[in-house]
Amino acid sequence: MRKRLLFILVFAGLAACASQPQTGSISPTQQGEPPGFAGLAATALKASFGEPSFVRKDGSAEIWRYDGQTCRAFFFLYPNGAAEAVRHVETLPRGTTFAADTTCLDVLRGRAKVS
């Protein structure tokens, strides 16, 4: 049941991202996203968070999942010029202001720096 809910949440987020116009560039101040993540290049994401626990390609999108002891983060990356960049971020559990909980993101980022 939990896996089913997880898949529903992930694909609902992917559908929300796919419904946005594909302009080829991503605004770094995209509404609804935690500050500093929209438009973040895949290389910068990997430098901050390390290797993802899981990667899934779905059409032109790529989903990177990072697992912590108390939360998970899902980064939805799309082509942005010649590279890929973050367009949407979600966490489980969800945040109160955004779909991503900033505390979870901070914990996962800190875990990458300790490793």
> Residue 115: what pLDDT?
52
SS3 110: helix
CATH 3.10.20 is held by the domain 2-19+33-114 = no
Give, for all 115 residues of the chain, the pLDDT tens digit. 555 554 454 555 545 544 444 445 544 445 678 889 999 999 999 999 999 999 999 999 999 999 999 999 999 999 998 999 999 999 999 888 778 999 999 999 987 766 5
Q: Rounded to an integer, what distance in angstroms lies between the CA atom of residue 29 and that of residue 35?
A: 7
